[in-house]
Amino acid sequence: MKVLVTGAAGFIGGHLAGHLVARGHEVLGLDSLHPAAHPAAPRHLPRELDLRVGDVRDQRLLDELLDGVDAVFHEAAMVGLGLDVTELPAYASANTLGTATLLAAMARRGVPRLILASSVVVYGEGSYDCSEHGRVRPGARDVGDLSRGVFEPRCPRCEEALRPAPIDEDAALEPRNGYAASKVAQEHLAGVWARETGGTAVALRYHNVYGPHMPRDTPYAGVVATFRDALTAGRAPRVYEDGAQMRDFVHVYDVAAANLCALDGGAEGRLTPYNIASGEPHTVADVARALAAATGGPAPLITGAFRLGDARHIVASPARATHDLGFRPTVGFHEGMRDFIATLGPRDDDLPLGITD
């Protein structure tokens, strides 16, 4: 199969390209090599990847690249929290306009399948259970509560504290920052493309992805990389709030495998979303402690600081992806964290992509 991977030089895109090449696919890559994401040219990409440097908003280039392509994996995006409203035009241009331009080109070229890199951030706050009112979705947390160190969201009906519960793909989308809003827009645009063309669109809502070749010292670095960078510099990782925030940390090898599973998933004429998660949630403090133990570094510092755009708890089950796509996570939390630390070093960019069957 001939496929195009946008963002192919990125963290997830590079691993995905490696998996696709290993499975015998003809892989084209597109990446702008933006300096915010790539301070240095990536050296770990598979030799068989035909990588073109360019922008996903370049219609002429897309028309050339998409000729004869059977499927597109759309990984290219501007990432980060997007808390500053002055950044909204940048997110709208890179993510929303970029996706619209890609979809229009796919329609012109008759490409029938899209696998879209979406994100857990589309949900906003997660799903919760109230002891009196059952399953609820709370609103944004109160700034006064956060300032006083009261971090748990309250029931919107009785104001009592809530217990986190897995969120499913049918939950309402409630983006709470610029990046999240752009990911929701990408999903909606992909749904329109699927309905209008009869194509198949699958949205993979990645949870917290980590693993080898994770970005360092860039806006594209996640919390795992931030903790790692602190520890390798001999500093204690600084943890927001009280560290009890629940997340699902899924290894990049499993995320790449999920994309391959999605090549045969979905349904014609509509977009189908899937949570891509390990199914084993952990607290942010758990991650900091696991990395500190693996490096022999200092214990985490719980700061009590907070950011208004952050969700308190957001966990999900990959059950739908397992049932529909055959996706089964294989890398456990402690194994993944140990291996992540073990891959660090001055020649991280030269490490293999870890292609597995």
| CA separation for the pair 3, 22 (Å, rounded) | 13
Instruction: Choose the catalytic residue: 179, 206, 253, 274.
Output: 179
To 10 degrees, what angle do helices 284-295 and 223-232 make? 30
Taking the alpha carbons at both ends of the chain, their separation in whole angstroms is 18
Give the number of C-alpha atoms closer than 13 A to the C-alpha of residue 112, restricted to the C-beta side.
11
| CA separation for the pair 347, 213 (Å, rounded) | 10
Say whether 91 is catalytic.
Answer: no
Distances (CA, A) of 32 to 38, 62, 93, 109: 9, 13, 14, 22
Distances (CA, A) of 150 to 36, 112, 153, 173, 223: 35, 49, 8, 25, 22
Nearby residues of 159 by Cβ (< 8 Å), 6 or more positions away: none
| CA separation for the pair 24, 89 (Å, rounded) | 39
Count of C-beta atoms within a 10 Å radius of residue 149 = 10
Q: Which two tokens stand for residue 81?
A: 């929290």
Task: Cite the active site residues.
Answer: 179
